[in-house]
Structure 1
Amino acid sequence: MNWLPAWEGFVRVVEGGSMAAAARALGCTRAQVSKQMAELERRLGTRLFERSTRRLALTPAGEVFHQHALRALEAVDSTEIAVRNLGDTPRGTLRVSATVTFGRHCVAPLLPEIAAAYPELEIELILTDHIVDLVGDSIDLALRMTRMPPDDAVARRIVSLRRVVCAAPAYLERHGSPRLPQDLLQHQCLSYVLGDNKTWGLIDGRGVETPVPVRSRIHFNNADCMLDAVLAGHGIAILPTYLCHRELAAGTLRTVLDDYEPNIVYGRELYACYTPSRVRVPKVRVFLDALLRRFQPVPPWERAG
């Protein structure tokens, strides 16, 4: 029995919750997966799954085997990567993950430049606001906004992302400009579904935070949509300057409460995260170098400001 496909099949069954889901992920039949699992259990001399009509659950032996199988498959993957990337020339496919708005505005424009410099390199940019699994999703490098980078990955700080409280001039002319955090209670504030829970934390120059349960009737999970709503005069929002710096410079947006810094639940630091097996991989190194050249010591949108 070739153990590698069976071990991969086992991990897919656990991830998908069924043999049918594993078969779809692997591009084979359910019968093939079922046969692999039966042979695997026979070879190991123990049951790995508790079977019922509704779902599969791991036995204690299955839980132990799952952890070891994950590490073994990661080691195989790392070995293949190391062999494929022998030498100093970046080649192959580089899979990068970033949040939707930051990736669209700040990462995507870098890709043609990098691809032009390295003809043997292909780049896939996966945009999602959810945390990806570096190993399970085959991600070479993930850009994450977080207070604490993951313990199981190498993390390189890339840039600090500043945010401002802002509104359109037309809105401020109609409703006035807030002078203190508590004044926001009298305003329509646009809420970010994934991050603020309808409460804004504003930190003054002494480091004291004032929580404000803002009034929100419009909610978004996308910063681009929030920017459009603010520009249309529908309310006040907290926006990252990498997104709204042009509007601030043009005067179509104005900042308010400039003496306070918005405190965002996931922090202001952006990290490049990758597994230890990618540390010396040329394609990861050149992409990381391009990020550092672009965003350090001062990101371009702050230089423009």
Structure 2
Amino acid sequence: MQWLSSWDSFVKTVETGSMSAAALRLNCTRAQISKQIGDLERNFNTKLFERAHRKLQLTPAGEVFYQQARQTLIAVQNTQVAMQNLGATEPQGILRISATVTLGRKYLTPLLPKLTERYPRLQCELILTDQVLDLVEHNLDIALRITRQPPEDVVAKRLGALKRAICATPAYFQRYGIPQTPADLSQHRCFSYLLLDNYRWHLTDASGYEFHIPIQNRIQFNELSSIFTATLAGEGIAILPRYLCGDALRDGLLQEVLSDYTPHLNFGQYLYACYSPSRVRIPKVQIFLSEIEHLFKVVLE
């Protein structure tokens, strides 16, 4: 289906912003992408892109074609998945999973070898990133996301709520003192949560009263394990998920403060398994969902 390749090249060009980027994504040359788009424009007898100042911009016709082509490619992909798994009762094929770096490294990395050993026809690919990946564009079977509101066009199964702690090392508190109230935090070295909080922490007390505290630190990170490492090194106070800092708290390497207050983050506290409706009945997705439901029911309690 030559037209399918051309349509995919066009959609990837729109989504990546350039023919060169689309070529990298599709593992081909820029010249091939350019030829395919040129063929489309000749077949439709209309321009799909305005080419000005080295920047591609969709024409009105290009906008219409992009929406239709993307939906068609999704439908084709869903059909392929359904046909490949037709009549299958045992997990088979490649299971592509996306998860945040620290969560995936801690829980999914040790889980996947057990699955592939149990199911010889199953292969697993784990993509660890703190970026939200489009399920269709990246051909993902399932994505684990910490979010306030999952996308409306996917099936989202809530796996549990992430609990978080405000903590630092005992040595840090011995040197700088222990904050007794949320307002005291503004006088301490505090880490922004992945640089997504505008350098303000949002806490609530048991009655629901809200506190918005400006925070500061001369060192900041956009990656959770780096925040954890810096906190263990005594560089400041952090809000950390308990699945990451729990062992350090139990071993006395970290000390929790302001435990009567609940930290709130912009992207919420719930962990979801997100997947396309076309994947619902596929054995490899069903078995993985069953495994992680049990896993996170235990670790998030």
TM-score, normalised to structure 1, is 0.93
Task: Report how far residue 29 of structure 1 moved.
Answer: 3.7
Task: Report how far residue 301 of structure 1 moved.
Answer: 6.3
Unaligned runs of 5+ in 2: none
- Which AA in structure 2 matches 1:217? R
Q: Deviations over 1:207-233 (max 9, x none)?
A: 111011022222111222222222222
Task: Report how far residue 282 of structure 1 moved.
Answer: 1.1
Distance (whole Å) between structure 1 residues aligned to residue 235 and residue 42 of structure 2: 64
1:13 matched residue in structure 2: 13
- Which AA in structure 1 matches 2:123? E
1:239 matched residue in structure 2: 240
Distance (whole Å) between structure 2 residues aligned to residue 167 and residue 18 of structure 1: 45
Contact in 2 for aligned 1:190/1:217 (Cα 8 Å)? no
2:123 matched residue in structure 1: 122
Task: Report how far residue 53 of structure 1 moved.
Answer: 5.1
Task: Report how far residue 108 of structure 1 moved.
Answer: 1.4
Distance (whole Å) between structure 2 residues aligned to residue 111 and residue 194 of structure 1: 31
1:59 matched residue in structure 2: 59
Q: Which moves more between the two structures, 226-235 or 74-83? A: 226-235
Q: Which moves more between the two structures, 157-166 or 14-23? A: 14-23
Residue 88 (structure 2) pairs with residue 85 (structure 1): no
For 1:38-77, list aligned pairs within 5 A.
Answer: 38-52=38-52, 54-77=54-77
Distance (whole Å) between structure 2 residues aligned to residue 97 and residue 234 of structure 1: 31
Aligned length: 300
For 1:104-253, list aligned pairs within 5 A.
Answer: 104-253=105-254
Task: Report how far residue 241 of structure 1 moved.
Answer: 0.2
Q: Deviations over 1:128-187 (max 9, x none)?
A: 111101111111111111110111111000121000111111111222211110111222
Q: 1:29 to 1:218 in 2, by over 3 A?
A: closer
2:299 matched residue in structure 1: 300
Distance (whole Å) between structure 2 residues aligned to residue 254 and residue 30 of structure 1: 54
2:281 matched residue in structure 1: 280
Task: Report how far residue 113 of structure 1 moved.
Answer: 1.3
Distance (whole Å) between structure 2 residues aligned to residue 233 and residue 27 of structure 1: 45
Distance (whole Å) between structure 1 residues aligned to residue 105 and residue 46 of structure 2: 49
- Which AA in structure 2 matches 1:293? H
Q: Deviations over 1:114-139 (max 9, x none)?
A: 11111111111111111101111111
Distance (whole Å) between structure 2 residues aligned to residue 276 and residue 174 of structure 1: 54
- Which AA in structure 2 matches 1:260? Y
Q: Deviations over 1:36-86 (max 9, x none)?
A: 223322322322222335122211011001000000011110011111112
Unaligned runs of 5+ in 1: none
Contact in 2 for aligned 1:203/1:261 (Cα 8 Å)? yes
Q: 1:148 to 1:51 in 2, by over 3 A?
A: same
